[in-house]
Structure 1
Amino acid sequence: MTTLADRAPMQNKVPEVTFDFWLIKLLAVTVGETAADYMNLDLGLGLSTTSWILSGVLIAALVLQFAQRKYVPWVYWVTVVLISVVGTLVTDNLVDNFSVSLETTTIAFSIALAATFALWYLVERTLSIHTIFTARRELFYWLAVLFTFALGTAAGDLVAEGIKLGYLATGFLFGGIIVAITLGYYLFGLNSILSFWLAYILTRPVGASLGDFFSQPDQHGGLGLGTTVTSFIFLAGIALLIGYMTLSQPRDQLDLGVNEAAPD
């Protein structure tokens, strides 16, 4: 009988940060925006019912993710898609059901995310995503990811709707900030961990703006494809990328879980 002591040590549970990583992350956050609207409005489930259903599915996905001993592309990215939807719904519930302003939710989630990072660093002495090889680090990681989606939703909606900048312009604004962060990292030595998490937060409003631009009707500044078509388009893109990541993953990682952790 295999015991816990006989199990292979946990390898890094987060993929390498490559172009593929950012592309599928952008697709995931776009689905987070449109899928929540699809279930809430198109299927008529309502915000509360949609939130309960998807929160339950997310918990199941997290249980499966934590049960892995290494990075498994489809498990990891399904969890990211679900947590992006739930993060969106957390903000939407606060704003729509509890009448909390977008300014307040943006500030509150900024504080919550900063507190998560502070506690994570206090306990682990690192915020590196290259060393997520303990359950405690993974717990901090997913909590931070949840708050980045909730914060990105609040900040994106605040700019697009509160300031009335519009979907497409909001996407370009936050996309420009990401470009500036990227240049800061490659040209001016901006800290890699800070650069990653800033870009991670900002891809949420970029993806949400992209989703709204595709799904919303012409009179609201969109292309009018609707949430159903938009969701399936981006879900198909995610599925193709997950398949590519799985097939391109080195054979030793697939079979043995070999994935050397990068130094902090």
Structure 2
Amino acid sequence: MAHAKKALAKVPEVTLAFWIIKIAATTLGETGGDALSMSMNLGYLMSTFIFAGVFIAAVIAQIKAERFHPVLYWITIIATTTVGTTLADFADRSLGIGYAGGSAILLALLFASLAVWHRSMGSVSVWTISSPKAEAFYWVTIMFSQTLGTALGDWTADSAGFGYTGAALIFGGLLLLIVIAYYVTDISRTVLFWSAFILTRPLGAVVGDFLDKPVANGGLAMSRYGASIALVMFIVVCVVMFRQRPARVAH
């Protein structure tokens, strides 16, 4: 039991502050990923290799950590969302799979990750993580969800023609429905958590695009560097102001 508590202490309690920081982190993933691949002209593939290296290093550090470290946890989350941005863009644009095709493939990979995790560990609840193996499943699943969110956000805003604000309203509305379901239904909390976790990524993706895309394309034409720095500062302030407590072990 001591080992389980020790491992789970590295997963934060799911609160309103958690979701605020998560949305900001996913938005940062979009602006930060675009800054490296587009503004620095490194391209999607090279940027993916760079962010993948950061992601792998962060996950190893997170798994090896003896207890929950808020800064390390959120660095790892940001790493998953930046690599998700460039990886999805590479698949959708450079490989020519398209937003719909990329979303379908990534959705299948996400469900496969959850299925293997459940078959191997007996649960995909974040409140039952008690081993490095479960943590590895957790982070791989998160990486797939972040990549899916990028493709889904781009598909909704561009291919489906809803634009950035329209797509933001759609995903924001879906998140609101999940909140309502949490309070008025008995739907599995694990299902609701992963549904919300997945949907915050396309919301962040379209908000990030809205901030840095040209005005002619429906954006605000903000500097990707400036938007990314502002988001980093916002996340830091939130982590400092709102105490990040470790989640309790589910019995």
Deviation by residue 1:120-177 (Cα, 9 ceiling, x = unmatched): 1111111111122210110110011011111111111111111111011101101101
Q: Matches of residues 7-156 of structure 1 in structure 2 within 5 Å?
A: 9-156=6-153
AA aligned opposite 1:222: G
- d(CA) in 2 for partners of 1:9 and 1:190? 29
In the alignment, the residues of structure 1 paired with residue 193 and residue 97 of structure 2 have an alpha-carbon distance, to the nearest angstrom, of 29
Measure the CA separation in 2 of the matches of 1:224 and 1:64: 36
Q: Is the 8 A contact 1:39 1:50 kept in 2?
A: yes
C-alpha distance in structure 2 between counterparts of 1:121 and 1:58, whole Å: 23
Matched, 1:207 2:204: yes
Task: Report the RMSD for the aligned CA atoms in angstroms.
Answer: 1.7
Contact 1:166 1:221 in 2 (8 A): yes
- In 1, the alpha carbon distance for the partners of 2:190 and 2:45 equals 35
Give the alignment's TM-score, normalised by structure 1: 0.89
Q: Which amino acid aligns with 1:202?
A: L
Match of 1:218 among 215, 219, 222: 215
Which residue of structure 2 lines up, in the alignment, with residue 174 of structure 1?
Answer: 171
- 1:256 is aligned to none
Deviations 1:214-264 (A, max 9, x none): 11222111122121111111111111122234xx357xx7xxxxx64123x
1:192 to partner: Cα distance: 0.6
Report the Cα distance in structure 1 between the residues aligned to 2:203 and 2:241, rounded to whole angstroms.
24
Q: Percent same amino acid among aligned pairs? A: 33
Aligned AA for 2:207? Answer: L
Unaligned 5+ residue runs, structure 2? none
* Partners of 1:217 and 1:115 in 2: CA distance: 37
CA deviations on 1:52-93 (whole Å, 9 max, x unpaired) are: 111112211112111112221000000000110001111111
Say how many residue pairs are matched: 248
2:195 is matched with 198
* Structure-2 change in CA distance of 1:173 and 1:74 (3 Å): same
CA distance in 1, matches of 2:6, 2:76: 22
Q: Which one scores higher on RCO, CA 8 angstroms, separation ≥ 6?
A: 2
Q: Say if 1:110 and 1:151, in contact at 8 Å, map to a contact too.
A: yes
AA aligned opposite 2:223: G
Deviates more, 1:41-50 or 1:105-114: 41-50
Q: Distance in 1 between matches of 2:96 and 2:248?
A: 47
Write the letter of the residue equivalent to 1:109: L
Cα distance change of structure 1 residues 99 and 249 upon mapping to structure 2, 3 Å threshold: closer
Give the whole-Å Cα distance in 1 for the aligned partners of 2:194 and 2:180.
Answer: 15
